[in-house]
Amino acid sequence: MTRCHIPIAKPNISERTKARVMEVLGSGFIASGDEVRKFEQAFAGYTGATEGIATSSGTTALHVALLAAGIGPGDEVITTPFTFIATSNAVLYCGARAVFADVNPATYNLDPEAIRKAAREHPKAKAVLVVHLFGLPCDMDAVIDVAAEYGLTVIEDCAQAHGALYKGRMVGSIGLLSAFSFYPTKNMTCGEGGMVVTSDNELAERCRLLVNHGSAIRYQHEILGYNYRLTNIAAVIGSTQLEDLDDFIAARSANASRLTDGLSGLSGVITPWVPDGCRHAFNQYTIKVPQGREDLLKYLEREGIGYGLFYPQPSYKQSLYKELGYGDSYCPVAEDLSAQVVSLPVHPLLDEWEIDRIIEVIGDWTPNKG
């Protein structure tokens, strides 16, 4: 019998946020406007970039970033298969082709040597789209070195990594362009929304055109653009969430430390590893279960512990990608991880007793005997 339910994610919406939303609703200016501009400036400043361009979702942010970087038909983009499908789909939206490179078994992020191998084998590769998976920064020094060697543009998918640090730098400020998501399960939310950040003024202007029907002046359209705008309502949610983001991350980090202290050394469980010089933002707390994962999942369900399977198969195994000719793709580490990882609750609204309960339940579980 389920004793309680501890959810895998829970949006943290303050009364201050609700009040600001009501102010915007009362103002009558609820579409894209001044609140969006304020949010763009504040978020860009937080990341250490100079320009922010708000979008309707993390997916549209990826699409805009790739288009602004000049990715188009005939190009190839090296990326990871161990992530949400939006990463590689955004490459397809541009008429380009994704080249899947394998990941590091300890960090779950793109392996720089796998990027190098893919670049050698794919001379049409124009960019590398890295994902800071679960909130852990990629090995960006090594990525930048490989990119420079092969003339690749570096684009960061930071959808899960708001506030993560790599050697003192915020993720999102390292690549030429970066994309963030504000979906409700992220470290901060707008309900739905995204942001492109960059320190290149010309690219920022191109992003603004792409987001707004290719138009800088009303009814004058310079390029083919899209309706990817964010609303003022979403922007004020994002602005107030940004004010609390460091507190959210501190709570996630504290919860993650408590989980690691309680789970380390347990048979059949491998806790997350954080390399020196990195601040993990812990959008997800993801353990590796080399054997008996399905038994553990059933046990968690019986005991009322929420969990997530991110991601149960590499992107190239999806039906869409098989139909597009990706059937020969093979990234053995990504495939192993897809069959082994489980994400546990780590969100800021967890109580201490809930964390203790998660530790207790997993501690009582024995592989293959859940």
- The model's confidence at residue 369, banded by pLDDT at 50, 70 and 90, is low
Whole-number mean pLDDT of the chain? 96
Residues 172/156, Cβ–Cβ less than 8 Å: yes
Q: Residue 273 and residue 239: Cα distance in Å, rounded?
A: 31
Residue 196: pLDDT over 90: yes
Average pLDDT over residues 230-254: 98
Rounded to whole angstroms, the Cα distance separating 310 from 317 reads 14
- Residue 132 and residue 353: Cα distance in Å, rounded? 30
* pTM exceeds 0.85: yes
Q: Tell me: cis bond preceding 46? Omega within 30 of 0 counts.
A: no
pLDDT of residue 3: 60
Q: Taking Cα atoms as reference points, which of 197, 198, 196, 226 lies closest to residue 211?
A: 226
pLDDT in tens, 80-133: 999 999 999 999 999 999 999 999 999 999 999 999 999 999 999 999 999 999
Q: Express each pLDDT in 320-357 by its tens digit.
A: 999 999 999 999 999 999 999 999 999 999 999 999 99
Show the tokens assigned to 32: 């894209």
The CATH code that applies to domain 245-364 is 3.90.1150.10
- What local confidence, expressed as pLDDT, does residue 370 receive? 47
Within the chain, which residue ranges are assigned CATH 3.40.640.10? 15-240
The answer on pLDDT for 5 being more than 80 is yes
The CATH topology of domain 15-240 is Aspartate Aminotransferase; domain 2 (3.40.640)
Q: Where in the chain is the domain with CATH 3.90.1150.10?
A: 245-364
